[in-house]
Amino acid sequence: MAAPAPASTALERLRELHTTGKLAVEYPSVPGLLAELDPAGLARAGRLLQRVPVEEIEARHPGTAPVTAALTGHGTLDGLTAPLTGQLARHGIPLRVTVGDHDAWLRDLRDTGSALYAEGTELALCVLDAEVVFGELPVPWRVEDVAEAAAAKLELLGGLVERHAAHAPGTLVLNTLPLLRTHTAQLADHRSRAELGAVWREFNAGLLRLTARHPRLHVVDLDPLAAEGGPVRDTRLAAYAKVQLGEELLGRYAREIGHLVRTLRGRTKKVLVVDLDNTLWDGVLGDDGPDGIAAATTYRGEAFGAFQRVVKQLGAQGVLLAVCSKNDEEPVREVLRGHPDMTLREDDFVRVTANWQPKDGNLRDIAARLNLGIDSFVFADDSPFERGLVAENLPEVALVPLDDEPALHAERLLADGWFDVRELTAEDRLRAGQYRSDAERADLRESAGSMEEYLAGLDVRVEVSPARDHEVARLAQITLRTNQFNLTTRRLQQADVQRIREDGDALALAIRSRDRFGDNGVVGAVFAHRADGALHLDNVLLSCRVFARGIEQAALGALLRHAKETGAARAYAAYRPTAKNARYRDFWTTLGFVLTEEHPDGALSFTHSLETLPQLPEHVALTAGF
């Protein structure tokens, strides 16, 4: 790695790397350079990064998988590829993009031979604007004409979405269409303007509702992005160059696409760790005492209280909350238990770490106790020193740069969509309680005389069966977010899981578990298929929350027994190495599989004769149906 240039800006450093031909070599350092650039800076960085061949980055860094996208639209979109490149590079993802012809969106969506449908295209970006409707109106026009044209356009888009879902491999991305004042002001009476606003919002609502029927469709809502400020477009560029969406709005659109790609790649963060003093409350507890801190009743205190409500909202949707603060522990817990200003309470956090140790070490400890990778953490702190320490020693942790303006805390926390998921599941809403139950399990483990005694006292119950309708989203989520016990790391979207369910020769199994401390929900998945008289185990996944309880042995032992009883001659399995699943390299041999081939990339192939089946763990009560 090259040494950082002294006192240089991120863009200057990027230009230096480009000039010396080292941008591809140093690509892993790019996210750190881009971390705090504004959208305009990211667009400039994107223009530099566009000049680096994606193939060169991929060759030098095999673990850095580019995203392949195809871009089409109605207006001129030349200004979008640079911000897209910069925003994705912020997350360490190179962009390989094909740009369609001007105003070719309809042709591209209809033609299954276009780049939108090409093998390997992960994202089909179709960027539309209001002129796709207003450009077809008669002159003069009335609200009724807009309603008719919008309804026809929505029906057309619905059919094109169906076509894409049936023939394309990737995710189609549409967007809502901003309504401009130059549209509404053409109507002289206020009543007609109100009717037009209602018609337009119904059209955009219809676009958004298409996502409920099509799991591989994503619609970016441009209204909240436009509301962040700045014009939706430059009127002169729209008139002369057909640039219907402005630079600022396209930059924000690119930011949302970066978040979407991270979600599709299974890189959603799981844990939000927050500081306390001047982060969750106004004041310093150690200096000011409980009576001297505020998260209500004062102007600044109210801003901290608003931030707490946002943090609690995230926690209610499956984000694990933890505290990492330089304070004495007992006063912190007393504040969280009883201070009248607090929205967040002790029970909202899965870990409360308050001591005087370096925060990077404390974050490592929290990760170890939760049995989660440190790269699943987001850390929010108002101290540049503490953030710098974490950035230096734990570059995998995402940082939220707070400062002494609490009114901006929530905006800065939400800016990067670190916790975005495709769909919230029942397990997401229960996750915090499940992790708190783990503390009780830990107490039992520490009091037990042996591991056998602990497992016997845990009363583990496992159910294995084909995934039910309401579990499809959860199984897809497991493939995207599980990294340790993920034996082939095949990532699946909901549509992929559904296709497996509908294949008569395939299995998409959900593994559910519970014990004396509560229900863990769906904690694992098995994907398999039958071919040539054999069972092929395509992937097995298990949540890190339930490791070392015999759950996977019970589930797979039952499946192997079922395979033998239904005529399978043998079973095949595989392991594909990643940076995080090395501890399970030899898992298949523990079930009686024999290693048959080791591939050049480190992947392993295994075979089981099904003659001697693995014994099921005695401490597990198993219910299995296939």
111 and 192 assigned to the same domain:
yes
Where a domain ends, among 397, 414, 431? 414
> 509, 525 in Cβ contact below 8 A?
yes
In angstroms, the Cα distances linking 169 to 100, 116, 289, 496 are 18, 9, 58, 10
Q: How far apart are CA 120 and CA 102, in angstroms?
A: 23
Task: Classify residue 17: in a domain, yes or no.
Answer: no
Task: Classify residue 106: in a domain, yes or no.
Answer: yes
Give the 3-state secondary structure of residue 170.
Answer: coil
Check residue 485 and give left, alpha or beta (phi > 0: left; psi -120 to 50: alpha): beta
Q: How far apart are CA 322 and CA 320, in angstroms?
A: 7
Residue 348's CATH number: 3.40.50.1000
Closest by CA position to 70, among listed 157, 2, 172, 148:
172
402 and 490 assigned to the same domain:
no
- Give every residue of the chain whose pLDDT is below 50, as ranges: 1-8
207 and 241 assigned to the same domain:
yes
Q: How far apart are CA 102 and CA 111, in angstroms?
A: 16
Q: How far apart are CA 190 and CA 585, in angstroms?
A: 69
Q: How far apart are the first and last CA of the chain?
A: 51
Beta-sheet pairing, 506-515 with 534-542: unpaired
447 and 407 assigned to the same domain:
no
Name residues whose C-beta falls within 8 Å of residue 316's C-beta, 6 or more positions apart in sequence: 429
* Identity of the amino acid at 451: M
Helix (H) or strand (E) holding 385: helix 384-393
Q: How far apart are CA 588 and CA 572, in angstroms?
A: 10
> 614, 560 in Cβ contact below 8 A?
yes
User: Per the structure block, which two tokens stand in for 166?
Assistant: 């049936």
408 and 452 assigned to the same domain:
no
User: Per the structure block, which two tokens stand in for 113?
Assistant: 């031979």
Backbone torsions φ then ψ of 281, nearest 5 degrees: -145, 160
* Burial grade of 225 (CB within 10 A; 0-12, 13-18, 19 or more): buried
498 and 395 assigned to the same domain:
no
In order, the DSSP letters of 464-481 are EEEPPGGGHHHHHHHHHH
Where a domain ends, among 264, 290, 314? 264
Residue 94's CATH number: 3.40.50.1110
564 and 615 assigned to the same domain:
yes
Residue 437: per-residue pLDDT: 76
463 and 333 assigned to the same domain:
no
Sheet with strand 398-401: strands edge to edge:
351-355, 320-326, 271-274, 377-381, 398-401
User: Per the structure block, which two tokens stand in for 104?
Assistant: 């070719």
Beta-sheet pairing, 604-608 with 594-598: antiparallel
Residue 312: per-residue pLDDT: 97
User: Per the structure block, which two tokens stand in for 36?
Assistant: 């705090």
Buried b (16+ CB within 10 A) or exposed e, 340-356: ebbbbeeebbbbbbbbe
Backbone torsions φ then ψ of 507, nearest 5 degrees: -130, 135
Task: Classify residue 581: in a domain, yes or no.
Answer: yes
Task: Classify residue 300: in a domain, yes or no.
Answer: yes
Vertex 269, ends 432 and 228: CA angle to 5°?
110
Buried b (16+ CB within 10 A) or exposed e, 189-221: eeebbebbeebbeebbebbeebbeebbbbbbbe
Residue given tokens 């909350």 in the structure block: 321
| Angle of the 81-90 helix axis to the 39-49 helix axis, nearest 10 | 100
451 and 334 assigned to the same domain:
no
Q: Would you give the DSSP letter of residue 4?
A: P
The count of structural domains within the chain is 3
Residue 382: per-residue pLDDT: 96
380 and 524 assigned to the same domain:
no
Task: Classify residue 586: in a domain, yes or no.
Answer: yes
Task: Classify residue 582: in a domain, yes or no.
Answer: yes
Residue 1: per-residue pLDDT: 29
Q: How far apart are CA 28 and CA 22, in angstroms?
A: 11
470 and 583 assigned to the same domain:
yes
Task: Classify residue 377: in a domain, yes or no.
Answer: yes
Q: How far apart are CA 622 and CA 228, in angstroms?
A: 53
Task: Classify residue 129: in a domain, yes or no.
Answer: yes
Task: State pLDDT tens for residues 82-102.
Answer: 999 999 999 999 999 999 999
78 and 129 assigned to the same domain:
yes
In angstroms, the Cα distances linking 26 to 40, 242, 252 are 22, 37, 26
Closest by CA position to 591, among listed 567, 557, 565:
557
Closest by CA position to 591, among listed 558, 562, 547:
558
In angstroms, the Cα distances linking 558 to 462, 468, 561 are 11, 19, 5
Structural domain containing residue 176: 65-264
Residue given tokens 């497996």 in the structure block: 500
Where a domain ends, among 235, 264, 293? 264
What would you report as the CA-atom Rg of the chain, rounded to the nearest whole angstrom? Answer: 27
Residue 474's CATH number: 3.40.630.30
What is the distance, to the nearest Å, from the Cα of residue 423 to the centroid of all Cα atoms in its chain?
A: 10
Give the 3-state secondary structure of residue 56.
Answer: helix
